[in-house]
Each structure stands twice: as structure tokens, then as C-alpha cells.
């Protein structure tokens, strides 16, 4: 029996003994975060742990602090925010890995005369600080000590454990309070924003909701050959409401803009789920939706690198009233998405009484993730639309919403049909990113057939604070989430647009844009763009002009 008591004491002390470890990431404990973190590849010494309401990945369990600090730089190459912390050794014995079993002694066995009790294997029981396992191969051996002595030893073990737990909780609580206090001082408005959403499902239908807005205010100075002028105004004022049911499978969105000519933005209902036997997922949307045609056009204006999209956005379609189906397949670190849509006039076009012009589009993307913050994506799209003999116009304002004139523009009369093609590419390597697209458009008109094109190539570099993001499920640019203290990004873009073909000689334009972005936090971003525009062959302007503009964006 003495050996049994010694064994119990050893395991009890081992369960509460501490070590130093390297913490890579920490997330709120949810099914989505658990699935995301589980897909990541870590070294064999790294474990995914759930501690109270937090999911965390910790690597190694070192007796000495200096040993943990020696390996820290290796992890920081891939996880810049990694740091050394202390933890319990017992937390490295998780249910999803091979663990060293410990013995749990039933109370009856402590006071029983010489007997052997077989204990069956059970699942790990999650408590606030540790996980306890029972192995079916362990057996209780003969008791020879008096009952009083056994009871005192057992009681002391329990008291020691409870004391360790209280100290750990108190220490952790002090850290959490300090962290929350620091955040609330920096971002006081966050507590109000949290009231605008409900991430926890409510009621029988698991209802979740979110209210949000996008507010952009611009300042611009344009210097042309014979005139210079400034401008400032609201670029975007939008409000939206999103909701979902049944674990976010059934969803809807309502969005309205108080600026621009198109007031009705994303107004839709949809459904998404998985196709088990194909190992795929799908999403269906109906309503006023974005047409899937290009990477930058399909991405939100909140997440693009520059204040305005590139010159070839002149060929963009914006939103239309229709339906979209997306089917995605993920295998290893690869993902393929297929987008198919059918559409007609948007809500705004219907209000204006425009002629009905139906069409369809297809977009296919492939993305491969080499590791965290290292990926590339390729894609292509086609779009066809029946123009019903109407006139087609394209124009471009030199990548600024505040230009008074569009010097390159084209108008083709009596167009029967229109066909568009686009190819896209994106490469992200830690702080660096490279992105480009090429688009062509063909018009089948009564007079003749015409073809125009345009393209851009851009790169960016984060000096500090974050990296470029990509949403694999939607094949779009993702939201930048800077580290504490903000992030700064430098960028450059070269873009070209050509409106010349046959008897339609309406000019071409080349733009060089330099950008500086300051991400203060998740909601606030400051842009600074300087553009050198060179329209050539245009009737009203042939030369060089310069645009200096800035924006303050607040989006939540």
C-alpha cells in the first residue's frame, strides 16, 4: 500500500507541476476556430489545448526558462506573435494524442481489505485546469495502511490540488483583467459595437445577427495641364444587416448606400451546406448580388489595397439581380471553387426603367497554401450578356472618384451581345504580396465587332503589423487584422486601359499609383494614394496629370 500512496503523490504532484512552453496562437473556443486550428500543421511537440473558453497552440514543455527562450526565435519566423509562457505539464496530456495514463483510485478502494479492482477506460473529463485519464490496464493493489492514514493522505492531496487551482485562476484572472483594461482604454467604442451583433445562436432556429456600416471620407487634389483643383466629400456611407439560422446555414443580407448612383447593394438570401460524399461544400444566393467575374471586383471595397480599383474596373458589372451557385472542394492544402451565376438588371436599373439585359457568368479559381501566410491563387472567368441592341458605354476616371472628367471613354451603338474574359493571379509570401488581372471585352454590334482590353499588376509590403489576407472559401481578398499597435503597408500598382479598335479610336491610359496604408485597428484605416495618369489619344486630353488623395475608412 505504501507504493500505491507514493504513486498517487507522484502523479498528483506531476499533474500540477509546471513547465515553460512557447504559445503560438490563441483563439476564442468555438467550433469554427477549432476546425481552423486543427487543419494547421505543427511540429510534433505542439499541442492544441482548450483551457476554459480559449483554444491555444503550445509547443514544448521545458523545465528551464532559458531552454524555451532558445527555441522561441525559430517559431517566431512563422508566428511573429509567439511568446514564452508557463503552464501545467498535465495540459500536454490531451485526448487527441498518446498520453501517459494516470490512476484514479475509487474511494471504496481506499478502505477496502486486500482486493483487486479493475478500472475501465473512460473518456477524458475536461475541468478548468487539467484532464484526467484512467487506463484499463492499471489495477489497485492490496491496502495495508490503516484507514485514518489513508484518509489523511487523500485529503491532503485534494487540498493541495484545490490550492494550486485557486492560485492559477487568480493569476490568470489578474492577467485577463489587465489585458481587457488596456484594450478598453485604446478602443472604447468596441463595447458598443458588440451590442450590434449576436454570435451565439438564439431560440429554436439558432438565430444570429449583425448590424454594420462602412463610412469613407476622402480628400483629393488633382493637378492637370491647364487646371488644378481640390475636392472632399463622403465616398461611401453604407449600412447593412446580416442574419442567419440553423448554425448559419440559412442566411440573408440587406445593404443600402446613401452615396453614389446605385443605392441597393447586397440584398439577398442564401443557403450553404456540405456535400459529404463529394467532400465538398456549396452555397446558393438569390437577390441583388455581386457578379463573380474578377478577384478585385468580387472582393469588398473595404479589403482592396488602394482607394479605388484598377483601370480595367471600367469593364466591371457591379451588382445584378440574379442567382449564384458556388461549389468548393478542399483537399490537403488545395482548394478549387466554381462560381456560376445567371442575372439580369439590378434593382436600381429596374427602378430607372432600363431595358432588360440578361446574362450569365462562370468563374473558376484554384488556391494552394504552402504554409501559413504563404499561398498562391489562380483563376479565370467568362461572362456573356444579351444587350438587346442597346448602346454600350465604358469610361474611366483615372482611379479617382473626384476627377471632373473621364478623358478615356467609348460608346458603341446597337450592340447585340457582349462577351468578357478575365484571368487573375495572387501570390502572398509573409509580408509581401503580388496581384494581377487581365480582362478583354468583345462587342457584337450592328456596325462591326469591337474588342477592348485592360490589365493591372500590383505589389504590396507590410513594414510591420500584419500580412495580406485571402479568403479561400469565397476566393476574395480578406480583411486585414493588424497586431496590437497597428500595421503599415506600402504598395505600388501599374494599370493600363485600351479603348482603341478599328474606327473606334477613343484613347488609352496608363496609371502609376503609389500607396501607403495605415491600419490603426480592425475597424479604422487611413489611405494615402499618389497617381500619375497618362491618357493618350483622347480627344479632350493628351498628356500627364497627377492625383493626390487620402481616405479615412471606418468599417464595422
Domains and CATH numbers, the chain: 2-186 (no CATH), 190-555 (2.40.160.10)
Q: Give the pLDDT of residue 155.
A: 60
pLDDT at residue 79 is higher than 60: yes
Question: Read out DSSP for 378-415?
Answer: EEEEEEEEEEEEEEEEEEE-TT-TT-S--SEEEEEEEE
Q: What local confidence, expressed as pLDDT, does residue 118 receive?
A: 40
- If one compares 358 and 95, the residue with the highest pLDDT of the two is 358
Q: What is the spatial distance between Cα 261 and Cα 351, in angstroms, rounded to a whole number? A: 12
Global pTM exceeds 0.75: no
Residues 6+ away with beta carbon under 8 Å from 460: 305, 432, 433, 468, 489, 490, 491, 492, 515
Q: How far apart are CA 18 and CA 157, in angstroms?
A: 17
Closest CA to 554 of 298, 238, 300, 253: 238
163 sits in the region (left: phi over 0; alpha: psi -120 to 50; else beta) called alpha
More confident residue, 13 or 396: 396
Mean pLDDT value of segment 203-229? 94
Q: Percent of the chain beyond pLDDT 70?
A: 81
Beta partners for residue 476, in sequence order: 471
Selected residue with higher pLDDT from 255 and 193: 255
Whose CA is closest to 264, among 324, 321, 347, 345? 347
Higher pLDDT, 140 or 528: 528
| Average pLDDT score over residue span 218-247 | 94
What was the pLDDT predicted at 488? 97
Q: Provide the pairing of β-strand 470-471 with 46-51.
A: unpaired
Residue with the bigger pLDDT between 123 and 309: it is: 309
pLDDT > 90: percent of the chain: 58
Calpha distance 200→423 (Å, rounded): 40
Q: Tell me what the pLDDT averaged over the chain comes to.
A: 84
Give the residue among 171, 155, 133 at the shortest CA–CA distance from 15. 133
Please say if the pLDDT value at position 453 is more than 50: yes
The band of 542, judged by pLDDT with boundaries at 50, 70 and 90, is: confident
Amino acid at each position: 500500500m505504501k507504493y500505491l500512496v507514493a504513486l498517487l503523490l507522484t502523479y498528483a504532484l506531476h499533474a500540477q507541476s509546471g513547465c515553460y512552453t512557447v504559445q503560438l496562437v490563441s483563439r476564442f473556443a468555438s467550433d469554427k476556430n477549432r476546425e481552423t486550428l486543427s487543419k494547421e500543421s505543427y511540429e510534433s511537440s505542439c499541442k492544441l489545448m482548450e483551457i476554459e473558453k480559449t483554444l491555444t497552440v503550445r509547443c514544448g514543455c521545458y523545465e528551464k526558462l532559458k531552454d524555451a527562450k532558445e527555441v522561441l526565435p525559430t517559431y517566431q519566423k512563422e508566428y511573429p506573435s509567439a511568446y514564452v509562457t508557463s503552464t501545467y505539464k498535465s495540459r500536454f496530456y490531451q485526448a487527441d494524442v498518446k498520453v501517459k495514463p494516470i490512476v484514479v483510485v475509487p474511494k471504496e478502494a481506499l478502505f477496502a481489505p486486500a482486493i483487486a479492482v479493475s478500472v475501465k477506460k473512460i473518456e477524458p473529463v475536461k475541468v478548468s485546469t487539467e484532464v484526467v485519464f484512467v487506463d484499463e490496464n492499471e489495477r489497485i493493489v492490496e491496502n495495508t495502511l490503516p484507514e485514518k492514514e489513508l484518509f489523511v493522505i487523500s485529503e491532503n492531496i485534494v487540498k493541495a490540488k484545490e490550492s494550486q487551482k485557486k492560485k492559477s485562476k487568480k493569476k490568470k484572472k489578474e492577467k485577463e483583467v489587465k489585458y481587457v483594461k488596456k484594450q478598453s482604454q485604446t478602443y472604447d467604442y468596441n463595447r458598443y459595437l458588440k451590442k450590434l451583433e449576436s454570435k451565439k445562436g438564439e431560440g429554436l432556429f439558432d438565430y444570429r445577427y449583425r448590424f454594420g456600416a462602412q463610412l469613407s471620407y476622402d480628400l483629393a487634389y488633382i493637378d492637370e495641364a491647364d487646371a488644378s483643383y481640390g475636392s472632399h466629400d463622403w465616398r461611401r456611407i453604407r449600412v447593412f444587416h446580416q442574419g442567419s439560422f440553423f448554425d448559419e446555414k440559412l442566411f440573408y443580407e440587406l445593404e443600402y448606400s446613401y452615396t453614389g448612383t446605385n443605392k441597393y447593394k447586397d440584398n439577398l438570401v442564401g443557403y450553404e451546406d456540405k456535400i459529404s460524399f463529394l467532400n465538398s461544400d456549396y452555397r446558393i444566393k438569390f437577390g441583388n448580388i455581386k457578379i463573380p467575374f474578377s478577384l478585385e471586383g468580387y472582393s469588398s471595397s473595404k479589403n482592396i489595397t488602394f482607394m479605388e480599383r484598377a483601370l480595367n474596373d471600367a469593364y466591371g458589372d457591379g451588382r445584378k439581380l440574379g442567382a449564384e451557385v458556388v461549389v468548393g472542394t478542399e483537399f490537403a492544402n488545395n482548394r478549387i471553387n466554381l462560381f456560376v451565376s445567371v442575372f439580369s438588371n439590378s434593382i436600381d436599373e429596374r427602378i430607372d426603367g432600363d431595358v432588360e439585359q440578361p446574362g450569365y457568368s462562370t468563374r473558376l479559381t484554384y488556391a494552394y497554401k504552402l504554409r501559413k501566410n504563404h499561398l498562391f491563387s489562380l483563376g479565370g472567368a467568362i461572362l456573356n450578356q444579351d444587350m438587346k441592341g442597346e448602346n454600350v458605354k465604358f469610361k474611366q476616371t483615372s482611379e479617382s472618384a473626384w476627377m471632373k472628367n473621364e478623358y478615356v471613354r467609348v460608346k458603341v451603338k446597337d450592340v447585340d451581345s457582349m462577351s468578357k474574359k478575365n484571368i487573375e493571379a495572387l501570390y502572398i509570401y509573409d509580408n509581401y504580396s503580388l496581384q494581377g488581372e487581365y480582362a478583354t471585352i468583345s462587342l457584337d454590334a450592328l456596325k462591326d465587332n469591337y474588342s477592348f482590353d485592360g490589365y493591372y499588376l500590383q505589389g504590396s509590403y507590410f513594414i510591420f503589423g500584419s500580412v495580406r489576407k485571402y479568403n479561400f472559401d469565397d476566393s476574395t481578398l480578406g480583411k486585414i487584422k493588424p497586431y496590437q499597435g497597428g500595421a503599415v503597408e506600402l504598395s505600388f500598382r501599374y494599370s493600363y486601359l485600351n479603348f482603341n479598335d478599328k474606327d473606334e479610336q477613343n484613347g488609352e491610359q496608363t496609371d502609376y499609383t503609389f500607396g501607403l496604408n495605415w491600419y490603426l485597428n480592425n475597424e479604422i484605416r487611413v489611405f494615402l494614394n499618389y497617381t500619375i495618369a497618362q491618357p493618350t489619344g483622347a480627344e479632350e486630353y493628351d498628356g500627364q496629370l497627377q492625383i493626390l488623395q487620402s481616405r479615412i475608412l471606418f468599417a464595422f
